[in-house]
Amino acid sequence: MEHDDETNHGNQLSTTLAWFSIALGATELAAPRVMRRLTGLPESTEPMLRALGAREIAHGISILVRPDSPVPVWSRVAGDAIDLAVLFSALGSGESDRGRVSGAIAAVAGVTALDVICATRFGANGSEGADEPPDWTRRGVRVEEVTTINRPIAEVYAFWRRFENFPSFMRHLESVQQLSGTISRWRAKGPAGMSVEWEAEMLEAREHEWIAWRSLEGSDVPNSGSVRFQRAPGARGTEVRVQLQYRPPAGALGKGIAWLFGEEPSQQIHEDLHRAKQLLETGEIPLSDGPGLWRPAQPAADPREIKELAGVQL
């Protein structure tokens, strides 16, 4: 009986959130100017508010159709992340009313908390067990990227083996400091202007084959990963495969905001691998201001400098 009461409370909360979504979405669609003024957003955001309104209505309807499922509610959480990202972005704009934007952020954060409570209550009660929240909200995120670098495998492995080289091609990595034979300290730019730091332990360094690591307990970003090397077919150089498992700094919400700002690790790794390829093959480092925005490469380095970075004897 107690379990049924908890389930009913969860259904009632999800239904309330559904009607709230529909009412909010209808207002954004019908009166974007009013919503813009209430939230302090610039005039240019009115078309975007209409799109957000359509999304809110869709979320509300999906919850009403499946009131006992956590999946539509978790979708609302992702929508909340989008709203917060828009508001945080507007907070730094000179065209916005910072006071009203800050108030809107507080309001959306409160609704987000209700959404998370509602979604997790379903999970705790075992309601519709097949519809669990996505893996990245519970166990972290797994990313894998691969590229081929037209350089000898010994040179590529030696370059990656020296973690101090990573900031030369990883745009979001600020520094790597070797503390001992297997322990290093990493500092990186996180989502929404944050800075994150952790210490990592090297688990494996199999020459010309494999490098594996994991973060130590207490890290800002718990993570583990590996880089595998193998000779590419047709004597085309070295295939480099990077795998990463991590937990976002702010959980599911942090991942949603990070993705919107182009700071999601799968995007980062893809771009960073491209830079590593350019650096090792040509000595040029393409500089990126964001996904798809590329500035001219820096002047090519002397090939001897690249080999010195990689630790290869000349």
Q: Which fold has domain 137-310?
A: Alpha-D-Glucose-1,6-Bisphosphate; Chain A, domain 4 (3.30.530)
Report pLDDT digits (tens) over 162-199: 888 888 888 878 899 999 888 999 988 765 566 778 89
Q: Report which of residues 253 and 114 the model is more confident about.
A: 114
Using alpha carbons, select from 102, 89, 88, 58 the residue that is nearest to residue 76.
58
Sort strands 287-290 and 210-215 into parallel, antiparallel or unpaired: unpaired
CA atoms within 13 A on the CB side of 175: 6
Residues in the chain: 314
Q: Percentage of residues in the chain with pLDDT exceeding 70? A: 72
Report pLDDT digits (tens) over 53-68: 888 888 888 788 776 6
In this prediction the pTM is 0.49
Q: Where are the domains of the chain?
A: 2-133, 137-310
Backbone angles phi, psi at 186, to 5 degrees: -115, 140
Report pLDDT digits (tens) over 242-295: 888 877 655 555 555 555 455 566 777 888 888 999 999 987 665 544 433 333
Long-range Cβ pairs for the range 201-207 (8 Å, 24+): 205/161, 207/157
